[in-house]
Amino acid sequence: MRVVVLTGAGISAESGVPTFRDADGLWEGHQVEEVATPEGYDLQPTMVQRFYDDRRAALAHVQPNPAHLALARLEQVLGDDFLVVTQNIDDLHERGGSTRVLHMHGELLSALCRGCRQRMRWEQDLVDFPPCPRCGVAELRPDVVWFGEVPYEMDRIAFALERCDLFVSIGTSGAVYPAAGFVQAATTYGARTLELNLLPSEGASHFAESRQGLAGTLVPQWVAQLLGEGPS
Ligand code: BJW
């Protein structure tokens, strides 16, 4: 059985990573247009660099939770028939043991040079605009996908959605495209669909099944069920 899992901010919430649109979420203290668009970055680059520097630094203080660990366990069983597509820019899937992960909205631990367009692993602050180690131009920005930009890995994601038997969406509001449209694509190609979310998402009606609760509880339960270990 081929399984594609889409994850959003909700899967990292119990690790202490703020979501975007919940109360106390990241958007509560910031205008989305200011920190998550190329235009916002051009207007206030230092403020945007600080926003991402703070989030990068915060990674050192969070750990994967049982939901991340359960997905890594499922990958160990399904191997190449399993894929995590994450909208998250944290590294909690990888630290939880997953290796088959596509970061469609980029990664905090990566920088993108606006001079030479190279992407590179980056663990330090960017607020002082250090020169690119490759081309020397001081135009490094967070390697994340802002509104109006094209998400990463779309070809590989489309290929996986066409071939999967089961599509599972975990901890995402379904407010942001193209990820919000994956459930309809998977359905069109014949997959069964399941949503695991604290509350019904904006796209809940598109899923064949929807379960509400904490990801740290629901995901291990679902994985155990899929592996024949729990009640069906
Ligand atoms: C729990 C939980 C717990 C809490 N357990 N659950 C009009 C119509 C349609 C589309 C558009 C339109 N106008 C413009 C567009 C396109 C636009 C878009 O979607 N806009 C919408 C606002 C309408 N999209 C784009 O511009 C994208 N690019 C694009 O479309 O390019 C064209 C193209 C596509 C494909 C091929 C070729 C061309 C780019 C989108 C980039 C989004 N970027 C961000 C910032 C990334 C960097 C960063 O992290 O700062 O990505 S925005 C932000 O939202 C971030 C997230 O990844 C994304 C989704 O958020 P997510 O993960 O859903 O978080 P929340 O907070 O919204 O929800 C959390 C959920 O978890 C909630 O439901 C909670 O209930 C739940 N939860 N705790 C389980 N413990």
* Average pLDDT of span 21-30: 81
Residue to mutate, 55, 56, 102, 177, ligand 1, most ligand atoms under 8 Å from C-beta: 177
Mean pLDDT score of the chain: 96
30 is catalytic: no
Q: What is residue 187's predicted lDDT score, i.e. its pLDDT? A: 98
Phi-psi label, residue 79: left if phi above 0, alpha if psi -120 to 50, beta otherwise? left
Taking the C-alpha atoms of residue 20 and residue 136, their distance in angstroms, rounded to an integer, is 34
- Per DSSP, helices labelled H in 101-153 are none
CB 66 less than 6 A from any atom of ligand 1: no
Out of 3.40.50.1220, 3.40.50.1980, 3.30.43.10, 3.40.920.10, the CATH code matching 1-17+64-105+151-232 is 3.40.50.1220
Residues 6+ apart with CB under 8 A from 84: 5, 7, 71, 75, 93, 98, 100, 101, 102
Residue to mutate, 19, 34, 159, ligand 1, most ligand atoms under 8 Å from C-beta: 19
- Give residue-wise pLDDT tens across range 44-93: 999 999 999 999 999 999 999 999 999 999 999 999 999 999 999 999 99
Q: Give the global pTM.
A: 0.97
CB 17 less than 6 A from any atom of ligand 1: no
| Closest to 43 in 3D by CA, of 175, 115, 146, 178 | 146
Task: Dump the DSSP string for 56-102.
Answer: HHHGGG----HHHHHHHHHHHHHGGGEEEEE---SSHHHHTT--SEE
Domain 18-61+109-144 has CATH 3.30.1600.10: yes
Give me the residue spans of the domains in the chain.
1-17+64-105+151-232, 18-61+109-144
CB 171 less than 6 A from any atom of ligand 1: yes
* Average pLDDT of span 184-199: 98
